[in-house]
Structure 1
Amino acid sequence: MPPNSQRSLLRTKPVEQLTSEGAHSGLRRSMGLISLVSLSVGATLGTGIFVVLGEAAPKAGPAVVVSFALAALAALFSALSYAELAGAVPVSGSAYSYTYATLGELIAWVCGWCLLLEYGVSVAAVAVGWGGYLNVFLEATVGVRIPEELAAPPGAGGVVNIPAAVVVLLATAVLIAGVRESARATTVTTMIKVAVLIFFVAVAATAFDSGNMTPFAPEGLVGIAGGASAVFFSFIGFDAASTAGEEARNPQRDLPRAIMISLGIVTFVYVAVALTAIGAIGVDRLSAKGASLSTVMAEVTGSSWASTVLAVGAVIAIASVVLTVLYGQTRVLVSMSRDGLMPPVFAKVGARAVPTTNILVVGVLVAVLAALVPLGELTNATSIGTLVAFGLVNVGVLVLRRTKPDLPRSFRTPLMPVVPLLGLVLCVILIVGLGAKTWIAFLIWTAVGLVVYFGYGRRRSRLNQDA
């Protein structure tokens, strides 16, 4: 490869150019602090508790509570880095745009490609879990249950997961309606979700038995680390908030605040729910079939009313996760398309100030993925994509401090460079804790991404064409 070509791969996009393009993107600035916090909490709260707790608990035992705390700690260090970059570079591309401004085009492409994996697979994973709670709700209220063949993907006892595809398509329709309508729906469903989980903690705490917490960590640190790796994807919500940089009314002020507030809320709720759930019925009896919290409610109360209430809340709450994370993926695609690395159709904004074609294409593809791929493989793939993106953000904040020390920042990561370095180290530790199948899938995804970049994106990159 000629020297000039090598340099083009490492060319960074000026922060001023990023913010200027974001200001003229055609997206509507209509989101305040409450909407941004709701978007962040809505994208986060539910993925790890409503769906994955029953799968992560067998790995760590009762120490899954520590796994959540460890994952939250890793997310905190990364969130502090995100908060600084979100205030300094308030655009819709999230970690992709931050990496483009600090580490160069090729690494930015890899980061954006990981974000597409993170968001798309996360939406599919949560949609798969939604079907389990929908069955609990239908069976308790009308005595009907969706047949296993139509409510589970191949490899998980079924043929196609129709409920998972339906909830993705419903979220797609809401996003097409407009960002203001999406924000209102997110705020309402997030409030319902928090109320339902508070109700769960109150009920489950009445049956808490300390004997269910022993042995606390049957597989020791290995099990705790494995559990943390599995649930880390539950903390991607603040990343979704940072994708709203071009639709926030005051992004420099509100984005850092929304990121930190939302992380604090979801960490507290995750730990409280995991602690009371395991304390109430023990690890062995937690269901690994998707509706684990409803199982806890049924056993604690000895009747179906509490699990029905929880199932109703979960159906609404998990749908909001699908909505908000799908929103994040489409906004990352907007930025990549605007830079020439993806086809221009993904950046085209329609009459309702949203990227309509982008939303339609993404919604249909994710619906197919949710209908045909089992939950476990989806959550692991989401974790590795998230961790790579977070690691690059931690490196990016260090680079931007060095290359642009005078750039206005509405939030500054404390204890530099310790915090981003610790965030990077913890991301690496959690990546190592993922299984061989996840690594193989990730390497295949990365290889495909590099083929797409060198075959399409690099030749059409606006930055390279301008140069």
Structure 2
Amino acid sequence: MENGIHLKRSLGLWSIVMLGIGYMSPMALFDTFGIVSEETAGHVPTSYLLALIAMLFTAISYGKMVKAYPMAGSAYTYTQKTINGNLGFLVGWSALLDYLFLPMVAALLTKIYFSAVFPGVPTWVWIVGFVIITTLINIFSINVTANFNTFLVLFQMLVIVTFLILCIKGLLSGEGTGKVLSPEPFFKTGFDFSSVISGATVLCFSFLGFDAVTTLSEETPNAIKTIPRAILLTAFIGGIVFIVVSYFIQSYFPDVTRFKNPEGASPEIALYVGGKLFQSFFIAGTFTSTLATGLASQASVSRLLYVMGRDQMLPKKVFGYIHPKWRTPVINVFLVGGIQLTAIFFDLETASSLINFGALISFTLVNICVIWHYAYYKKQYKSVKEVINFIILPVIGAACIIVLWLNLNMDALVLGISWAIVGFIYLLYLTKMFRTAPPQFNFNEAEAG
């Protein structure tokens, strides 16, 4: 915070939920369906169900930490305040991979979608146009971002509902399983639990977004009550959408033999289910999906940078600045927009792998923070309810994340560790080789805002 100017507390519950769902990008399930269907031998809905259950444990942990520290820094703040300032910095540094590269992934997906439709246009045009739109919207008040994002999410839902109607019509006409209600997408002959778990580890990353709403804590009245509800609603609603839609896609396409390219099956899915006209409508939906993700993720990372700047982990005059009129961290928004432009030189696989490392660091530490804060510091383990809430549930959440760590792409691990080493070197400089404590922000000052 600079010159006593704070973030403005003006977001309601459903605006936050919509930002979280926009971050999660509901239509992304079409992009991963072919890959996971092949991996699981036609049991994508079951993998989504397992992924939802796994992520809900971590979502519950985020909700508990928001109640303890209703501030904008998410896993960075929780680790810094609960365990150790140095570790908190390294968690925040690692989380930047997740938050910085998701806006870039959104730009890359936009380039892929539009280049397929307009192959004659230089690909960089779509990235530059996308970054300009998301940056201009985000520099104004968070309410402008939230309202526009809500419109984009509702349009995606319209595309999805239309898709489901067409799917049901096709199933009634004998397509796929020929049944609207069938257990086959969840369980059938050839079911292999290990492959379904493997599919779930891929799909867990579809849930990235429920944690991002914690970065909006300082722009939410009564954040202690509202943000935990928003976290659970975001994860649960997103999970239900994923399960229902994947159920009907799996019913329509019991296996991947119909797809020419299982790894990029979404255009084929739209074409086979609804024809060329619906395919055009569907492509419009995919663009709104990436735009919503770009908006929400850019808003989130600019708040994380703001908190790290306010804590003087990063230069305060730059990263801790809030615009006096718009009450947004405009310098950070422009900075993230500049980083998004580097998508011109990146490929989708590399950017996605960096997101996974940062997300898993955050998820792991938040589960640990619940145990550390409530059971270790506050000694809340003297009843069965407290043991379940503050030990058993976060341990299960951490165990689920360990499964994801074991399935993490090696490139993601190498790049993530390299990024963490750079952060560690910077921390050595910041703390003068750990001779001084890292700067920390006064929690009461944030609440006063």
Identify if the C-alpha distance between structure 1 residues 189 and 413 changes in structure 2 by more than 3 Å, giving closer, same or farther. farther
Question: What is the aligned residue count?
Answer: 420
1:48, CA displacement in angstroms?
3.5
Contact 2:42 2:250 in 1 (8 A): yes
Whole-angstrom distance in 2 between the partners of 1:382 and 1:426:
18
Using structure 1 for the length normalisation, give the TM-score.
0.82
Whole-angstrom distance in 1 between the partners of 2:97 and 2:186:
37
Identify if the C-alpha distance between structure 1 residues 223 and 340 changes in structure 2 by more than 3 Å, giving closer, same or farther. same
Contact 1:74 1:426 in 2 (8 A): yes
Amino acid at match of 1:316: T
Amino acid at match of 1:210: T
Q: How does 1:348-363 map to 2 (within 5 A)?
A: 348-351=321-324, 352-363=326-337
- State the superposition RMSD in angstroms: 2.9
Identify if the C-alpha distance between structure 1 residues 163 and 286 changes in structure 2 by more than 3 Å, giving closer, same or farther. farther
SS in 2 for 1:206: helix
Partner of 1:89: 69
Contact 2:26 2:241 in 1 (8 A): no
Partner of 1:311: 283
Whole-angstrom distance in 2 between the partners of 1:452 and 1:233:
29
Contact 1:122 1:325 in 2 (8 A): yes
Whole-angstrom distance in 1 between the partners of 2:439 and 2:252:
57
Whole-angstrom distance in 2 between the partners of 1:172 and 1:219:
46
Whole-angstrom distance in 2 between the partners of 1:41 and 1:464:
30
Partner of 1:39: 19
SS in 2 for 1:316: helix
Unaligned runs of 5+ in 1: 1-20, 140-144, 152-160, 407-411
Q: How does 1:275-424 map to 2 (within 5 A)?
A: 275-281=247-253, 282-286=255-259, 292-301=265-274, 303-344=275-316, 345-351=318-324, 352-368=326-342, 370-402=343-375, 403-404=377-378, 415-424=389-398
Whole-angstrom distance in 2 between the partners of 1:50 and 1:230:
13
Contact 1:48 1:233 in 2 (8 A): no
Q: How does 1:5-16 map to 2 (within 5 A)?
A: none
Whole-angstrom distance in 2 between the partners of 1:217 and 1:379:
33
1:362, CA displacement in angstroms?
1.3
Contact 1:337 1:346 in 2 (8 A): yes
SS in 1 for 2:218: coil
Partner of 2:423: 449
1:60, CA displacement in angstroms?
3.1
Partner of 2:134: 171
* Structure 2 counterpart of 1:110, from 73, 82, 90: 90
Amino acid at match of 1:89: Y
Identify if the C-alpha distance between structure 1 residues 268 and 397 changes in structure 2 by more than 3 Å, giving closer, same or farther. same
Q: How does 1:212-251 map to 2 (within 5 A)?
A: 220-251=192-223
Residue 429, structure 1, aligned to residue 403, structure 2: yes
1:219, CA displacement in angstroms?
9.5
Contact 2:44 2:185 in 1 (8 A): no
Identify if the C-alpha distance between structure 1 residues 429 and 177 changes in structure 2 by more than 3 Å, giving closer, same or farther. same
CA deviation vs aligned residue, 1:167-189 (integer Å, no higher than 9, x gap): 23321111112212111111211
* Structure 2 counterpart of 1:98, from 74, 78, 92: 78
Amino acid at match of 2:282: L
Whole-angstrom distance in 1 between the partners of 2:244 and 2:43:
13
1:165, CA displacement in angstroms?
4.1
Q: How does 1:74-223 map to 2 (within 5 A)?
A: 74-135=54-115, 139=117, 145-147=118-120, 150-151=122-123, 161-208=124-171, 209-210=176-177, 220-223=192-195
CA deviation vs aligned residue, 1:3-45 (integer Å, no higher than 9, x gap): xxxxxxxxxxxxxxxxxx89x6611111011111111111113
% identical equivalent positions: 24
Amino acid at match of 2:177: S
Contact 2:27 2:156 in 1 (8 A): no
Residue 462, structure 1, aligned to residue 439, structure 2: yes
SS in 2 for 1:29: coil
Contact 2:97 2:354 in 1 (8 A): yes
Unaligned runs of 5+ in 2: 179-183, 381-385, 443-449
Partner of 1:142: none
